[in-house]
Amino acid sequence: MLLPMTGHAASRIKDIVNIEGVRDNQLIGYGIVVGLNGTGDTVRNSPMLKQSLESMMERMGVNIRDANLNTKNAAVVMVTASLPPFVAAGSKIDVTVSAAGDAKSLLGGTLLITPLLGADGEVYAVAQGTVQTGSVSAGGASGSSITKGVPTAGRIASGANIEREIAFDFNAQPIIRLTLKNPDFTTSKRIADTINKAQPGTAYADNPTIVAVRAPPGSNMMNFIASIENLPVTVDTPAKVIIDEVNGVIVIGDNVRISRVAIAQGNLTISVNERPFASQPGAFSQGQTAVLPDSQVSVEEEKGKKLYDLKETASLSDVVNGLNALGVSPRDMISILQTIKASGALQADIEVM
């Protein structure tokens, strides 16, 4: 059954826009996890591990370049993290550790000190710690095994220390742009009008995506943004129907309208029954018993389906009530909505996922 959702609820400005300059930055690093219980990379199949171990041990004064390495307790990994905005040096962030070789599991391993680089090649954080995968993996001598979760990827909570801050003087910006998460002309203008009502002459809608704001005299940008981000704004959305054909899910927007249309929907069922029978030869005929096919095909069309008059709607509740009156399954409803759209009676866009 389709259920109507209440529309026109006001949202805070901070929930519907992104603020220019306030964003995460992605970090990446390459490291080694040690202490694995025989579930690490195979040195013979992972030249990355061999070279990494040799380089690391040489920096510690140990030469193993001519040694025959045959350990399975280490694995090469890629380490990723998100650097939050305005984070200070010395703060800690979580990191994600993912196997880069043929390791079977990273459970219980320890990530050795790993520099994390930004897109500019500079080191912004250093990670180290015990990897927690949250998975279960077990196997028997016969080769049977069971795995729950992904044992080759895990996280280290507060596993990286911030070493470098990203310089961004927020208060020095004369103008900050608010970027709508869902661009819309009406919503953009409403945001500017709401801000100007609270702080006259400080905002203007540049386009459906951007609302530019300027701090009023006597106030810095930090205090100004804090004073407007909780202001309520009614978000406007285009008329749209979202269809997930795989799972049979239909989402209808509040502004969807349907013109008056008549609909008839019926089911056609084709049944094929196979009932093979044995053919027995006569006595002394020297024949052989054979199994012969016997197919019965029937076609059944559901009766009693009449045209249903779907009246012109003025609200989402009218749309939902009219479609529910058809009494069909969600998958049939998908076909009906697409057919109504093809007839020109559905005043909305259909987006199929």
Residue among 130, 171, 133 nearest 149 (CA) = 133
State mean pLDDT over 172-193: 93
pLDDT of residue 298: 62
Average pLDDT over residues 282-305: 62
Q: 181: Cβ–Cβ under 8 A, 6 or more apart, which residues?
A: 16, 17, 18
CA 164 from centroid of its chain's CA atoms? 30
Q: Taking 90 as the threshold, does the pLDDT of residue 47 lie above it?
A: no
- pLDDT of residue 68 exceeding 80, the answer is no
Sequence-ordered alpha helix ranges (H) in 105-220: 185-198
Largest CA distance in the chain: 116
Per the CB < 8 A criterion, the answer to whether 187 and 16 are in contact is yes
pLDDT in tens, 118-130: 999 999 999 999 9
Q: What percent of the chain has pLDDT over 90?
A: 40
Structure tokens at 48: 């990355």
Gap between the Cα atoms of 150 and 133, Å rounded:
7
CATH number of 10-20+169-234: 3.30.1360
Say whether pLDDT at 203 is over 90: yes
Do residues 78 and 100 touch, judged by C-beta distance below 8 A? yes
Degrees (nearest 5) of the Cα angle 21, 24, 29?
Answer: 135
Q: What are phi and psi of 11, to 5 degrees?
A: -120, 155
64: left (phi over 0), alpha (psi -120 to 50) or beta: alpha
The average pLDDT across 267-272 equals 56
Domain residue extents for the chain: 10-20+169-234, 25-162, 241-352
Asked if residues 258 and 346 have their Cβ atoms less than 8 Å apart, the reply is: yes
CA-wise closest residue to 189 among 168, 202, 203: 203
Q: How confident is the model at residue 64 (pLDDT cuts 50, 70, 90)?
A: confident
Q: Name which residue leads in pLDDT, 276 or 274.
A: 276
Mean pLDDT of the chain: 83
Structure-block tokens of residue 348: 């909305």
Residue pair 229/55 in contact by the 8 Å Cβ criterion: no
pLDDT higher at 40 or 279: 40
In sequence order, what are the residues at sequence separation of 6 or more whose Cβ sits closer than 8 angstroms to the Cβ of residue 47? none
Instruction: Provide DSSP, 45-100.
Output: G-HHHHHHHHHHHHHTT---TTS-----SEEEEEEEEEE-TTPPTT-EEEEEEEE-
Rounded to a whole number of angstroms, the distance between the first and last alpha carbons of the chain is 20
- Of the pLDDT bands very low, low, confident and very high (cuts 50, 70, 90), residue 292 is low
Residue 291 confidence (pLDDT): 65
Distance (Å, whole) CA 331 – CA 72:
51
pLDDT tens, position by position, 217-263:
988 999 999 999 999 999 988 888 888 878 878 888 888 888 887 77
Q: CB within 8 A of 295, min separation 6: which ones?
A: 272, 273, 274, 275
Q: How far is CA 45 from the centre of its chain?
A: 34
pTM score > 0.75 for this model? no
Q: What are 158-168's pLDDT values in tens digits?
A: 999 999 988 88
